Amino acid sequence: MERILFGFLLLYSITLYAVPSEEAINASLSAIGSEETYEEINALHKIRDTHAMSYKYHMKRYNVTKEEHAKIAQQFKEADIPLYFSLIPYCESNFRSDARGGGAVGLWQFMEHSGRTYGLTIKKGQDERRDIELSTKAAIRYIKDLKKEFGEWYLVDFAYGLGEIKLKKLIKKNKSTKISVLLSDPEFKKGTKDHFIKTLLMDATIHQSNEE
């Protein structure tokens, strides 16, 4: 009986966090403005194998924070921003408002300067980067500004991770804004690439798979 129960729980776990289909990934790519498909982007090949464990780690966190995430997703929907971006905090901070590292703080991992630039109060005894509602509003303003600057939603994601100056240098160097070209550049930060891939897998699972 115990073996049967263990086997059932194992099967349930695998099914619950099953990596999304290629069709769902393509739908997610399309939602953030990519004209390239999964097959056309070499850097994405095998991601369902190489990123499966880390992706499932974030999916587990998503499944215990659905209620909080739904509120954020609604704000992005009202702002007419792809719901993909509502999932950024899972890779940035594991969806924890008290997260900090390298000077970045909060759900969206704002640095002090950028936090203040987008209207957050940061002083002794009060750091609004930790406030989920206020920091999300600031993130939406920042993401909208990046969209005005770079034009494509996927470039917004890259700029969020790399910084605007670094992304502009990579675009100029490669004379291209294609995902396939930029992700293949050895100067594209591995951390930003990993975040993009995991967020893409999450979006494909949460927002696209149900549409198939």
Per-10-residue mean pLDDT, the chain, length 212: 42 55 94 96 87 87 94 96 97 93 92 93 92 96 97 98 96 97 96 95 86 48
DSSP helix/strand/coil, 39: helix
Q: Is the dihedral of CA 143, 32, 29, 13 positive or negative?
A: positive
Neighbours of 124 (CB within 10 A): 5
Written as six digits, the tokens of 12 are 């349930």
Number of other CB atoms surrounding residue 61 within 10 Å = 16
pLDDT at residue number 116:
95
Residues 61 and 89: their CA atoms lie apart, in Å, by 11
Six token digits for residue 62: 């998503």
Residue 20: which CATH number? 1.10.530.10
pLDDT at 12: 40
Number of other CB atoms surrounding residue 17 within 10 Å: 18
Q: What residues make up the domain containing 41?
A: 2-211
User: What pLDDT, on a 0 to 100 scale, did the predictor assign at position 37?
Assistant: 96
pLDDT at 60: 92
Question: Could you tell me the pTM of the whole model?
Answer: 0.88
Query: What does DSSP say about strands 122-123 and 104-105: parallel, antiparallel, or unpaired?
Result: unpaired
Question: In the chain, how many domains are there?
Answer: 1
Query: Number of helices (H) and strands (E), helices first, in the chain?
Result: 12, 4
Longest Cα–Cα distance of the chain, Å, equals: 62
Contact 15, 190 (CB under 8 A): no
Considering only CA atoms, give the Rg of the chain.
18
Helix (H) / strand (E) containing 105: strand 104-105
The pLDDT score that the predictor gives to residue 211 is 53
